[in-house]
Amino acid sequence: MKRILLMVLKNFFFVPYGWFKLCWYASHVEKYTEEERYKVLKLIDRRAIWGGNLQIEAHGVENIPKENGFMFFPNHQGLFDVLAIIHVCPVPFSVVAKKEVKDIPFLKQVFACMKAYIIDREDIKQSMQVILNVTKEVKSGRNYLIFPEGTRSKNGNHPQEFKGGSFKAATKSKCPIVPVALVDSYKAFDTGSIEKLTVQVHFLPPLYYEEYKDMKTTEIAGEVKKRVEETIRLYAND
């Protein structure tokens, strides 16, 4: 909370403008292209990161597929994760978010601006419909992000199990699967510190359909987790 307060205080004059702009775009998504909405998100995100005494270090941006219609699968450390990735990702993407975070102020508007899908993991029918919707949109060229752990790790740079079901939309759409390793993202909001912090975002080489077509989703989940964990071990200090 201290860092969020710092973000607001350092952006004191920008906050009313940025909040109004974000809410306007979130309420009028059909009036703007995805690129226009993403540009607004990156502007607000950049100011928030500056205000929060944060630095985002990007690695492997060249691994992001050149053609749209792919999916990111990062480890999940906290509420800052999506903001860190937006800051360094040059192409628009949307997210599949759990219902527990859909009403958090600011994130609610960000998700609306991204035309994100909210998933209720306790409602199997609704979850399956989200998977079908995401599959259809990825096939049409939209990019998506899903956290395969389902919920954030309470152990910092040590990911939990990656769930096979998280990869169903990717396998159904036959799209590139891009593992993303986040390092120290949890320290942004979960430690109570406002000291300067560097968060690392590592875009790893994609798994293409030819590579995973004969694998079960649980095997894909295990492979993606292995690659993410190996990267975190190389760069994390804890």
Residue 175 · residue 145 · CB < 8 Å = no
Q: Residue 143: which of 97, 181, 91 has the closest Cα? A: 91
With b meaning 16 or more CB within 10 Å and e meaning fewer, what string describes 70-97? bbbbbbbbbbbbbbbbbbbbeebbbbbb
Q: Any residues with CB less than 8 A from the CB of 213 and at least 6 apart, and which?
A: 174
- Whether the pTM exceeds 0.85: the reply is yes
Going by their DSSP bridges, the two strands 94-98 and 117-119 should be labelled as parallel
Which pair of tokens denotes residue 83? 């903001």
Would you give per-residue pLDDT tens digits along the chain (238 residues)? Answer: 789 999 999 999 999 999 999 999 999 999 999 999 999 999 999 999 999 999 999 999 999 999 999 999 999 999 899 999 999 999 999 999 888 888 888 889 999 999 999 998 888 899 999 999 999 999 999 999 999 998 888 898 999 999 999 999 999 999 999 999 999 999 998 888 899 999 999 999 999 999 999 999 999 999 999 999 999 999 998 7
- Structural tokens at position 66: 């050149």
